[in-house]
Every structure is written in structure tokens, then in C-alpha cells.
């Protein structure tokens, strides 16, 4: 299994470029299905999830290409299929976000129910309930969901939980509905505000994103748009922790400081120094040993669940005992087992972990179970004595653009290990 090999113990120093937000770009690609116009998404990261979404929209008949400047150009003039292929939905849950757009534009869509994943069951009943309220007739059978509708009708929807995906799917569906839709108890993530910007550039009439209610006034048609998505706040947070865990000194840009406020606050609580050194630039310096924390994940603007594994790695070397409570997912603690292989002292009870910091972790061969768990293990390897091999690097490649190049530019001793190379020591390594 392909992996990344890390020789730990080096403080990271220098500056790291932050890519555009994965969890914004994927939704904009889905939204582009609602028009035959030309959509340009600038600085789209070269990551597996973007390639998967490109494969998905191509399978529906849309054209997607990448310009030399890294922007994605998408034109869904001809959509020949209204069914999302099962293997792509299984590979990436975000595939279900084509439901709202296809139903709104063509009145029909068929998608496989997304399976669970390493971090828990990933149901979509909030998405489906909202679409039914807008007049869609939805059947679920043999693991597939089929939705049909004449023109969707604007209505008032109250989400039981501020689901990011449900908010986005329903926002997009409502853009072409007849009348006005209000989504209450909506998710407030920055990627949703960015999606609102993109949709309005397409000619939609959306307002309120970022608050707890989003208002969408349906229009008869949409056109193309040209947009540069926000920087990836989770990638930025990951490199902020990389600076802290290696006692380094790292400058990140572009980053929107407000989007990483919860991460900044918690890093400062550990004793790390986080400074805004420019309107879109942060500097993070680590201290000898981080102070312990109590972290409880919540929907935005609370502490992000997508930063929970990375903070568990940091707390593994804290000077004291920390508690992490994961409230968003039911089983997002698998990385604790792998961190224990590196000498971490962690007890997990359901969705709560108690981490007793140790002075040093030791390198080991560990395996990523999902995207952010893989990032956490890489961070632990950067801090550990000796060599760590993080297998299952394909999970990390889903959301981190050229991670080993960015880390190497900060002074890390990391390189990619080719497929089928046993993790045992002494084997020839492939430097990319």
C-alpha cells in the first residue's frame, strides 16, 4: 500500500501556500450542473476528490477541463445521464450533492445511497426530507434513491441538525424552484457562504448564508460564473498544527483568519504563538511542550470536527492530560489506535478520548483510515523520534494537494513510498 515515510524531530520553518477549499470546490462543481453556461473555478486544488467529482460530472455528460493556470472549466450544456455511478458515490460521499442541481434543472435524478465510512454512518435523510418538502417524489429501493419533480416549489424547511451537505443540496435545488425557500437551522460553514457567492454569480438569488437561515428566491434559469473559492481552512489548520507539534515557525497564506478562529484559540491555549502578519497571512510558532486542552467538536463556528484528529496528535505530546469530545460523528476516533502504536497514551470511550501527553512519540508503521486521520498520523510522525511510515496515503491525497512537497519545503524529511513496498526498514524508497 502506498505511503509516506517521515523522519521526525525537525522543527518546520518557512512559508506554506494554502490551496483553495476542497469542501467549497466540490459543491461549485455540482452547482455548475444547473447551467449550460461556462463555469470557471480558479485555483482548484489537484486532489483526488476534485478528480472524482470531475469523473462524476463527465459521466453525466458535462465537459470538465483544467487550464494551465490551475482553474477548472466546466460546461454542462449536454447532460445525457441523470444517474450518479455507484462506484463514484461509494468513493466520495459528496457525490450526493448532484441531487439538488440535477433535480432542479431536469426534474429527475437517481443516486446510490452513500455508504457509511470510517468516521461513521453518513445518512442523507435531511437532504431527502427537504427535497420532499419542495415537492419531489422520492423512492428508496435496493440501495438507490430516485427523485422526480415537476418544478420544485419554494417552501420553509427546518433542518433537525445543521447539516452542511443538506444545507448545500437544498440551497442549490431551491435556486430554480418556483417561489422562495427558507432553510432554517442551516449550517453556517464558510464554504456555504462561498457557495452562495458562486450561485449568485450564476444569477441565483440567495442570501443569509453564514447565519442560521438561508433565503433563496427561485429564478427561471442560471448562467455560467467565474470564481476563486476561499482558501482551505482545514488544510491551513493542519499546517498550523504542524508548526506547533514540531516547535517550528511557519507562515501560511492565503488564509482567512476568521475561518480558523476556533483552531487559533485552541492553539493559543496550548501556548503556541499565532499572529496575523497580514490580511491573509498567519504565522504560527510552537513551544517546547503544548499545554493540555479540553476540545469539543461542534458545527461552525465551533471547533471543527475535521481538525479533531490533528489535535489528538498534538495532545499526544502535551504536558498533561487532555480530553477530546467528538459530537459530530459517531466513530471518528480510529486514529487513536494508530497513535498508540507510536507510544501515545490514549483511552477512548465512545466519542470521548482522554489523552495523557508523553514527552516523545516514537516512529512506527501506521495506517490512515480516512483523510484527516492520515493527516494526524503524518503530524505525529513529524514530531516522533525515528521513522514513521503512514500507509493508506490515498486517503490523504483526497484533500491535501502535494502534501509531501509542501512539508519538504518546510524542512521536513518526508518522501512517498511506492505501492507494494513493505514498510519494513532497509527497502529502496522512491523519492517523488
Residues with catalytic function: 117
Residue matched to cell numbers 480558479:
42
Give the chain's length. 432
Q: Does residue 151 interact with ligand EPZ by CB under 6 A?
A: no
Phi, psi of 231 (to 5 degrees): -65, 155
Q: Does residue 94 interact with ligand EPZ by CB under 6 A?
A: yes
Residues 103-132 that bind ligand EPZ (CB under 6 A): 120-127
Residue 358 CB, nearest distance to ligand EPZ (Å)?
Answer: 27
Q: From its phi and psi, is residue 181 left (phi > 0), alpha (psi between -120 and 50) or beta?
A: beta
Q: Does residue 29 interact with ligand EPZ by CB under 6 A?
A: no
Cell, residue 109: 435524478
- State how far the Cα of 259 lies from the Cα of 216, in Å rounded to an integer: 24
Q: Does residue 20 interact with ligand EPZ by CB under 6 A?
A: no
Residue 287 CB, nearest distance to ligand EPZ (Å)?
Answer: 27
Helix (H, G, I), strand (E, B) or coil at 321: strand
Binding string to ligand EPZ for residues 47 to 86, with x set by CB under 6 A, is what? Answer: ----------------------------------------
Q: Does residue 396 interact with ligand EPZ by CB under 6 A?
A: no
Task: Tell me the number of residues near ligand EPZ by CB under 6 A.
Answer: 25
Cell, residue 136: 419531489
Residue 189 CB, nearest distance to ligand EPZ (Å)?
Answer: 6
- Provide the CA 214 distance to its chain's centre, in angstroms: 22
Nearer to ligand EPZ by Cβ, of 216 and 423: the residue is 216
CA distances from 209 to 185, 189, 254 (A): 11, 9, 22
- State how far the Cα of 34 lies from the Cα of 221, in Å rounded to an integer: 8
User: Are 42 and 225 a contacting pair, CB within 8 Å?
Assistant: no
Nearer to ligand EPZ by Cβ, of 248 and 299: the residue is 299
Residue 240 CB, nearest distance to ligand EPZ (Å)?
Answer: 16
Cell, residue 306: 475535521
Q: Does residue 395 interact with ligand EPZ by CB under 6 A?
A: no
User: Which residues form the interface with ligand EPZ (CB under 6 A)?
Assistant: 23, 26, 93-94, 120-127, 161, 163-166, 187, 305-306, 328-329, 371-372, 399
Amino acid at each position: 500500500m502506498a505511503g509516506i515515510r517521515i523522519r521526525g524531530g525537525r522543527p518546520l520553518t518557512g512559508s506554506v501556500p494554502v490551496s483553495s477549499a476542497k469542501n467549497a470546490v466540490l459543491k461549485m462543481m455540482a452547482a455548475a450542473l444547473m447551467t449550460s453556461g461556462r463555469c470557471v473555478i480558479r485555483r482548484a486544488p489537484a486532489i483526488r476528490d476534485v478528480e472524482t467529482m470531475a469523473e462524476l460530472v463527465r459521466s453525466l455528460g458535462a465537459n470538465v477541463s483544467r487550464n494551465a493556470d490551475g482553474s477548472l472549466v466546466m460546461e454542462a450544456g449536454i447532460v445525457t445521464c441523470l444517474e450518479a455511478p455507484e462506484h463514484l458515490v461509494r468513493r466520495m460521499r459528496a457525490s450526493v450533492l448532484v441531487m439538488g442541481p440535477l433535480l432542479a434543472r431536469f426534474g429527475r435524478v437517481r443516486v446510490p445511497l452513500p455508504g457509511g465510512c470510517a468516521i461513521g454512518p453518513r445518512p442523507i435523510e435531511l437532504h431527502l426530507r427537504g427535497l420532499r418538502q419542495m415537492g419531489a417524489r422520492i423512492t428508496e429501493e435496493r440501495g438507490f434513491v430516485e427523485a422526480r419533480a415537476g418544478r420544485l416549489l419554494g417552501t420553509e424547511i427546518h433542518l433537525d441538525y445543521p447539516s452542511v451537505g443538506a444545507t448545500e443540496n437544498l440551497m442549490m435545488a431551491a435556486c430554480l424552484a418556483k417561489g422562495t425557500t427558507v432553510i432554517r437551522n442551516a449550517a453556517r460553514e464558510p464554504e456555504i457562504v462561498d457557495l452562495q457567492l458562486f450561485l449568485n454569480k450564476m444569477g441565483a438569488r440567495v442570501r443569509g448564508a453564514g447565519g442560521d437561515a438561508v433565503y433563496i428566491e427561485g429564478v427561471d434559469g442560471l448562467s455560467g460564473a467565474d470564481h476563486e473559492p476561499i482558501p482551505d481552512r482545514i488544510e491551513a489548520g493542519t499546517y498550523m498544527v504542524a508548526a506547533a507539534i514540531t516547535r517550528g515557525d511557519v507562515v501560511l497564506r492565503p488564509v482567512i483568519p476568521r475561518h480558523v478562529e476556533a483552531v487559533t484559540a485552541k492553539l493559543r491555549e496550548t501556548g503556541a504563538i499565532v499572529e496575523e502578519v497580514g490580511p491573509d497571512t498567519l504565522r504560527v510558532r510552537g513551544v517546547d511542550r503544548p499545554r493540555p486542552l479540553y476540545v469539543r467538536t461542534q458545527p461552525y463556528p465551533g471547533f471543527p470536527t475535521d481538525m479533531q484528529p490533528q489535535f489528538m496528535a498534538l495532545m499526544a505530546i502535551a504536558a498533561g492530560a487532555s480530553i477530546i469530545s467528538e459530537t459530530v460523528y459517531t466513530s471518528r476516533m480510529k486514529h487513536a489506535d494508530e497513535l498508540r502504536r507510536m507510544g501515545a497514551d490514549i483511552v477512548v470511550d465512545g466519542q470521548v478520548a482522554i489523552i495523557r501527553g508523553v514527552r516523545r512519540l516514537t516512529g512506527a508503521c501506521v495506517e490512515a483510515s480516512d483523510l484527516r486521520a492520515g493527516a494526524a498520523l503524518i503530524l505525529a510522525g513529524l514530531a516522533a523520534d525515528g521513522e514513521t511510515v503512514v500507509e493508506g496515503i490515498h486517503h490523504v491525497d483526497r484533500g491535501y494537494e502535494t502534501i509531501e512537497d509542501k512539508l519538504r519545503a518546510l524542512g521536513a524529511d518526508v518522501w512517498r513510498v511506492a505501492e507494494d513496498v513493505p514498510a519494513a526498514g532497509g527497502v529502496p524508497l522512491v523519492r517523488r
